[in-house]
Amino acid sequence: MKLGFIGTGNMAAAMMGGIIKNRIAAPEEIIGSDPFAPGRERVKEKYGIRVTGDNREVVRDADVVILSVKPQFYADVIAGIRDDVTDSHLIITIAPGKTLAWLEEQFGKPVKIVRTMPNTPAMVGEGMTGACRNACVTDGEMEKALAILNGFGKAEVIPERMMDAVVAVSGSSPAYVFMLIEAMADAAVSGGMPRSQAYKFAAQAVLGSAKMVLETGKHPGELKDMVCSPAGTTIEAVRVLEERGFRSAIFEAMKACEEISKSL
């Protein structure tokens, strides 16, 4: 498989690392372009891939092209490559708000497009990606796209109408979780724990809790109840969180995120 990245930033680098580690594509089969020379040289040095400053070269050399640039640059990037994109190319996008219909309009011709929304835990091989396709993409081509996406975490096919919810629940949510870990660590520091140790305890608690949800199949509320002994420390902490609107704050933050995604 010849794989091309237009854009070699953090998300692209995370994807490359997982793809190479899991032998979905070899470094010599991957090419990346970026107008920022230090950025493209960084991934060349780290992963041994080929790099260029020419987006069109990526399209000409690759079977699968991943558009890993910010949403505001998509129109210009597509305008620059659409004449080189053929009906044999598979285009994978990672931009929130850019619908399949919008993407098809930008290309101005039938193009195979898989729209995705990954997240930054891809950088440690634990990404979560939602994916949908347009009518030009065959079942076999979708399987190829999912193999790429599973190379740096987990991927699931979703209907496009759910993509903005995916942005809120996984695409942006690492930021919420990092804030939670930081707040937990700050509180532990105030209780006398060294900061480096506080981050480790807080992060491991989040990691372990997430693993319990995924591996036990139990409802999160049931798992919460298992920790809350009668008249104990945990239920008192839960009472304060409820009093301060913890769940409502998360809910409203995610809805705000979803609305912004729709407007991009």
Task: Spell out the domain ranges in the chain.
Answer: 3-159, 171-263
pLDDT at 248: 98
pTM for the structure as a whole: 0.93
Provide mean pLDDT across the span 142-171: 97
What superfamily does domain 3-159 belong to in CATH?
NAD(P)-binding Rossmann-like Domain (3.40.50.720)
Residue 93, φ and ψ in degrees, nearest 5: -110, 155
pLDDT band at 29 (very low <50, low <70, confident <90, very high): very high
Provide mean pLDDT across the span 76-81: 98
State yes or no: pLDDT of 136 exceeds 90: yes
> 1.10.1740.10, 1.10.10.60, 1.10.3730.10, 3.20.20.80: which CATH number matches 171-263?
1.10.3730.10
Rounded to the nearest 5 degrees, what angle is found at the Cα of 65, between the Cα atoms of 20 and 263?
A: 115
**Binding site for NADPH: residue ranges?**
55
Instruction: Tell me what the pLDDT averaged over the chain comes to.
Output: 97
Cα 254 from Cα 13, distance rounded (Å): 27
**Binding site: residue ranges?**
6-11, 55
Q: Phi-psi bin for 231: left (phi > 0), alpha (psi -120 to 50), beta?
A: left
Provide mean pLDDT across the span 117-133: 95
With pLDDT > 70 as the criterion, what percentage of the chain qualifies? 100
State yes or no: pLDDT of 264 exceeds 90: no
Provide mean pLDDT across the span 23-35: 96
pLDDT at 189: 98
pLDDT at 1: 87
pLDDT at 241: 98
pLDDT at 213: 98
Provide mean pLDDT across the span 183-194: 98
**Binding site for NADP(+): residue ranges?**
6-11
Residue 71 makes CB contacts below 8 A (sequence gap 6+) with 95, 96, 97, 98, 264
* Token duo for residue 251: 């809910």
Distant-in-sequence contacts of 255-258, Cβ < 8 A, 24+ apart: 255/168, 257/167, 257/168, 257/172, 258/164, 258/165, 258/167, 258/168
pLDDT band at 56 (very low <50, low <70, confident <90, very high): very high
